[in-house]
Amino acid sequence: MTSTDLAGADAAARRPSAARRPRRVRRLTGADRTVLGLMAGVPTLLTVALVWVPALASVVLSFSNWSGFGSFSSIQWVGTENYKNIFTIYPEFPPAIEHNLLWLAVFFCLPAPVGLFLAVQLDKQIRFSRIYQSVLFLPVVLSLALIGFMTELIFSPTQGLINNLTGHAHHHVIDWIGNPSLNIYAVLVMACWRQTGYVMILFLAGLKSVDPSLKEAAALDGAGGWQTFRHVVWPALRPINIVVLVVTVIESLRAFDIVYIINKGTNGLELLSVLVTDNIIGEASRIGFGSALATILLVISLVFIVPYLISMFRKDQNQ
Amino acid sequence: MVQSTGGIGGSGRGSGRGVLDRRSILRGALFGAGALAVSPLLAACGSGGGGSTDTSKATGTVTFGSNAAVPQPKGAYQTLFAAAEKSTKLTIKPNWVDHNTFQQNISSYLQGNPDDVFNWFAGERMQFFAGQGLVSDVNQVWDTIGGAYTDAMKAQSKGKDGKYYLVPFDYYPWAVFYSKSLWASKGYTVPQTWDQFIALATKMKQDGLVPVSFTDKDGWPAMGTFDYLNMRINGFDFHIDLMRNGDKWNSPQVKQVFDTWSELIPYYSPGFLGMTWQEGAQQLLNKQAGMTVLGLDQIGTIFTGSRADDLAFFAFPEVNSAYGQDAVEAPIDGFMVARSPKNKAGAFKLLEYFGTAAAQQLWLGSNPADIATASGVDTSKYTAPQNAAVKLITGAKQLSQFMDRDTRPDFADPVMLPAIQKFLNSPKDAASIMKNIDQQAKTIFASGS
C-alpha cells in the first residue's frame, strides 16, 4: 500500500511541474525530504521488524528443534526433519489442511454470493432497510469467541437448542459437537452466519458508490433488473470484489477462535492455526515443529496473495 | 535493567512531531526485542543457590502467582493469605491468573519475571521444570514440615536429582463415583472386578440409565480412564515407565489397555465427545447416569450442600489380579518457588506455613472436593466422600498423578489428547493409532529437554 501511495504522490508532484510550473515547486525542501523519508522509512522499518523478521525467523526456526528453554545455543538444527514428521506421522495435519480448504471453499460459495444478494436487495431502498441491515450486520460485531460459545448453546448434544427442539437430546442423540465428521459443518454454519454480514456490508458500501445515473441510463435504454446488474453494477463493483476476495481468503486462513472455544480445535475441528498454537504456546513448546507448521501456513497464504499482488502491480504498470 | 539500555539506544535523535508517535512504537519494538535477547542471558546468570536462608528474620512482601482466578478457590486463597500474613508477618501480593492461561504460559512465565511463590503440580510436570533449572529447591522448607508428610507424598515432591521442589498442599483421588440414593433404590452393589463392572453397566443400561456418564470434549477426562486401565492391567511400574520414557506405546500391553477399554465404550453417554465434564456430572447428579470415572476435585463441586453426602465412590475395578486395586490416581497440587525469588527467606517462611495441617484445613474450609496433604487435619470436618478419599489414598500401594502430570507436557496434550479422542471415535483403529503415538513419542522423547 505504502509504495503505491508514494508512487502516486510522486507522480502527482511531478506532473504539473512538467507542464507549466517553474522548477521551484518540483524541488523538495529539506524538511519535505525528511518528512517523506520518515513517512517511507518508519513504516518500512516497522514492517521489517514486526512482519518480515518474525516471518523469516519462523522459517529459520522451522529447521530446528528447540523447547524454548535456555539460551539460543540450546537450539539444535535438524534440517527438514520437522517437515518430514508433519507430513508422515502427524495425524492432525491432513485434517487441518482439509478443514482450512473446506473453510475457504464454503466461504467462497456461501457467504460471498449470499452477502452480495442481500446487499443488492438492501440497496433497493426497501422499507425498514436500516433495520435489516443492522440485523444482518450484528453478528460481525460479535467476537468469534462469543460465536463459538453460541455454537455450543445451539449444537450441544444434550443441552443444545437443536437436539432439544427435534427431540434428539436423550435418544438417538445427534452429536453435532463431538462427531468429527459433523462438527466442522456446525461450526461452518455459524462462521458463515457472521461472514455473510461482513461481505454484505462491504458490497453495500460498493453499491452506494455506483453512480445512480448509470443505472437510470440503463433503465432508459430498456435494461431489466438482471441486465442492469450484470452489465452496469457488477463491473462497477470490481474493486470491491477484490476486497471481498482478499477478506474471504484471510478470514478462512486465520480461522481459529470458534473452534478453539468449542474444543480447543481437536477431534474433527483441526485447523492449521490451532496446530501452530498447540505446539508453540503450551506448557512446553516445540518451537521448531510449530514454526514448520506456521511456515506451511505462510506458503499457503502466499499461494493466494502472490497472484493478487502480481495482478495489482501489473495494473499499476499499465496505468 | 539491561532492557532499558536497548530502549535508550533506539530513541536516539528525534525530530518531527507527527513521527514521534511512531518512533515511540518503534522504540517499543526495540525494547521488546531487547528484552527477548536479554532473557537467555538472565537465564544464564541465575545463581545456583545453595546455603540455607534464615527464615526467622524474613520480612517484607512475597509475590504469589495464583492459577485460581475464579471465585471459588480464589475466596479460599484470600482467607488463607489473610491468616498467613497474620502468622508470618509477611505481606502477600497475589497475582491472579486464569487456571488454563497460567498453565499455558508457564514456560514464558518462569523464564520471564515470575512471582516468588506460585501454584503448581506434582509429578513429571514439576520435575520437567525443575530439570530446566527454572525453580529453586525447597529442601530447607522440608526440614521444618517433613514430619507431617507420608513417604509417598515426599517422593512426589522431589525432582529427579532427589531434591525437594514442591510443597504439597491439597490433593484428591480419581475413582468411580455414583449417587448413593440412586444405587440404594436400584439395589446395585459395588463391583470389585472388571467383569462385575461390565455386568453392572449392562444391568444399568437395561434399567434405562446411562451406565457411565463419560465425557471427553475437553480431551483430558479420558486420560484418567486410560491411566487406571493401564495400572490395573500392566501395573504401576509399567505405567510410570511408559509415561516417563514413552518407548512402549506400540506394545501388546498398551494394545490390551485399548482393547479392554473398547468393551466399556458402548456404555458411555451418547454424544460423549461433544460434552464437557460438567454436563456429564450433571447426568450423575440428576440420576440419569449410574456412575462416572472422574476426580473428586471435579465431581465434588457438583455434589454440594445437602447432596454432598449422597456422593460415594469405589476404587477402579481390578482387571489383573496381580495388580489388584493397588494404585490410586491422586493428583497433588502445591507450591513452588521461582529460580531467583526477590524475597527468598519470605518465600520459604510462607511455604513453611502452607505446609501445615492448620493452613490446609483453613483453605479447605467447606470445600468438599479436595483433601489436605499434611497429616494432623481434623477429619471430623470432612464430608463422607472426603473421609472415604483419605481412606482410599492412605491404603494405596502407589500413587500416580495424572497423564498430563506424569508425562512430558509437550507430549500429553499435543499427542495423547487427540489420539485418545480418535480412539474413542473409532476403537477399531486402535492398532494404527498406537503405531502413530509410538512414532510421535519417539521423536518427542528423543529431542530431550
**Which residues in B lie closer than 8 A to residue A81 (C-beta atoms)?**
443
| B92 strand-pairing partners | B62
Q: Can you tell me the distance from the alpha carbon of B254 to that of B275, in angstroms, rounded to the nearest whole number?
A: 26
Q: Which of residues 258-287 of A touch B (CB under 8 A)?
A: 262-264, 266-267, 270, 278-279, 281-286
Q: Are B385 and B309 in contact (CB under 8 A)?
A: yes
Tell me the average pLDDT of chain B. 86
Section B412-426 average pLDDT? 93
Nearest chain A residue (CA) to B271? A175
Minimal C-alpha gap between B243 and chain A (Å): 16
Q: For residue range B20-74, what is the model confidence (pLDDT) as tens digits?
A: 344 443 344 444 443 343 333 333 333 334 457 777 778 889 999 998 887 777 8
pLDDT greater than 50 at residue B9: no
For chain B, positions 112-131, list CB contacts with chain A under 8 A. 125, 128
Are residues B173 and B389 in contact, defined by beta-carbon separation less than 8 angstroms? yes
pLDDT digit string, tens, across residues A152-174 = 899 988 888 998 999 887 778 88
B419 touching A (Cβ < 8 Å): yes
Residue type, A129: S
Q: Which residue of A has its CA nearest to B448?
A: A67
Please name the residues between 301 and 360 in chain B that touch chain A, using a CB distance below 8 Å: none
Interface test with B, best of A2, A266, A279 (most B CBs within 10 A): A266
Give the residues across from B64 on adjacent strands: B94, B117
Q: What's the pLDDT score for residue B1?
A: 32
Beta strand B135-136 with B332-338 is: antiparallel
Q: How many CB contacts within 8 angstroms connect chain A with chain B?
A: 150
Work out the minimum CA distance from B280 to partner chain A, whole angstroms. 10
Q: Exposed/middle/buried for B358, CB within 10 Å: 0-12, 13-18, 19+?
A: middle
Say how many residues make up chain A.
319
Measured between alpha carbons, how far is B395 from B328 in angstroms, rounded to an integer?
9
Cell, residue A303: 499461494
Predicted confidence (pLDDT) per residue in B131-180, tens digit? 888 999 999 999 999 999 988 889 889 999 999 999 999 999 999 999 99
CA atoms within 13 A on the CB side of B392: 27
Residue carrying the nine cell digits 479447605 = B364
User: For B110-136, how does the pLDDT look when each residue is reduced to its tens digit (9 = 90+)?
Assistant: 988 999 999 999 988 899 899 888 999
- Which residue of A lies nearest to B120 if distances are taken between CA atoms? A283
Contact of B256 with chain A, judged by CB distance below 8 Å, is answered with no
**Which residues in chain A land under pLDDT 70?**
1-26, 316, 319
Are the beta carbons of B232 and B319 closer than 8 angstroms?
Answer: yes
User: Contact A279/B414, CB-based, under 8 Å?
Assistant: yes
pLDDT at A24: 53
| Cα–Cα distances in angstroms (integers) from residue B375 to residues B23, B87, B145, B329, B385, in the given order | 60, 20, 11, 19, 18
Give the pLDDT score at B38.
Answer: 38
List of chain B residues whose C-beta atoms are within 8 Å of the C-beta of residue A50? 29
Per-residue pLDDT reduced to its tens digit, A4-20: 444 444 444 444 444 45
Backbone angles phi, psi at B352, to 5 degrees: -60, -35
Select the residue from A2, A74, A158 to test the B interface by mutation, using most B Cβ atoms within 10 A.
Answer: A158
Q: Contact A34/B16, CB-based, under 8 Å?
A: yes
Give the residue-averaged pLDDT of B295-303: 90
* Cell 498430563, located at residue: B404
Handedness of CA B305, B311, B315, B319 (dihedral sign): negative
Does residue B404 contact residue B412 with C-beta atoms inside 8 Å? yes
Interface of B with A in 178-237 (CB under 8 A): 216-219
Q: Which pLDDT does position A31 carry in this prediction?
A: 87
Average pLDDT over residues B391-411: 91
Phi-psi region of B408 (alpha: psi -120 to 50; beta: other; left: phi over 0): beta
Q: How far apart are CA B424 and CA B312, in angstroms?
A: 27
The pLDDT assigned to A154 comes to 92
pLDDT at B308: 86
Residue whose C-alpha is closest to residue A159's, from B183, B325, B23, B270? B270
Please give the pLDDT value at position B84.
93
CA distance B158 to B177: 31
- Minimal Cβ distance to B107: which of A158, A262, A284: A284
Backbone angles phi, psi at B369, to 5 degrees: -105, -10
Nearest CA-CA partner of B321 in B232, B229, B449: B232
SS (H, E, C) chain B: CHHHHHHHHHHCCCCCHHHHHHHHHHHHHHHHHHHHHHHHHHHHHCCCCCCCCCHHHCCCEEEEEECCCCHHHHHHHHHHHHHHHHHHCCEEEEEECCHHHHHHCHHHHHHCCCCCEEEEECCHHHHHHHHCCCEECCHHHHHHHHHHCCHHHHHHCECCCCCECCEEEEECCEEEEEEHHHHHHHCCCCCCEHHHHHHHHHHHHHCCCEEECCCCCCCCHHHHHHHHHHHHHHHHHHHHHHHHHCCCCCCHHHHHHHHHHHHHHHHECCCHHHCCHHHHHHHHHCCCEEEEEEEHHHHCCCCCHHHHHHEEEECCCECCCCCCCCEEECCEEEEEEECCCCCHHHHHHHHHHHCCHHHHHHHHCCCCCCEECCCCCCHHHCCHHHHHHHHHHHCCCEEECCHHHHCCHHHHHHHHHHHHHHHHHCHHHHHHHHHHHHHHHHHHHHCCC
Place of cell 451406565: B211
CB contact under 8 A, B425 and A85: no
Least confident of B344-348, B410-414, B445-449: B445-449
d(CA A200, CA A204): 6
The three-point CA angle B275-B278-B283 to 5° equals 80
**B446 touching A (Cβ < 8 Å):** no
Q: How far apart are CA A145 and CA B140, in angstroms?
A: 46
Cell 523538495, located at residue? A28
pTM: 0.81
Nearest residue of chain B to residue A176 (CA atoms): B274
Percent of chain B scoring above 70 in pLDDT: 88
pLDDT of residue A95: 93
Cross-chain Cβ contact A69/B449 below 8 Å: yes
Q: What DSSP assignment string belongs to chain A?
A: -HHHHHHHHHHHHHHHHHHTS-HHHHSPPHHHHHHHHHHHHHHHHHHIIIIIHHHHHHHHHTTEE--S-S-GGGPEE-TTHHHHHHHHH-TTHHHHHHHHHHHHHHHHHTHHHHHHHHHHHHTT--TTHHHHHHHHHHHHHS-HHHHHHHHHHHH-TTTSHHHHHTT-SSSS---TTT-TTTHHHHHHHHHHHHHHHHHHHHHHHHHHTS-HHHHHHHHHTT--HHHHIIIIIHHHTHHHHHHHHHHHHHHHHS--HHHHHHHTT-TT---HHHHHHHHHSSSS--HHHHHHHHHHHHHHHHHHHHHHHHHHHHHHHH-
Q: Would you call B421 and A278 a contact, using CB atoms and an 8 Å cutoff?
A: no
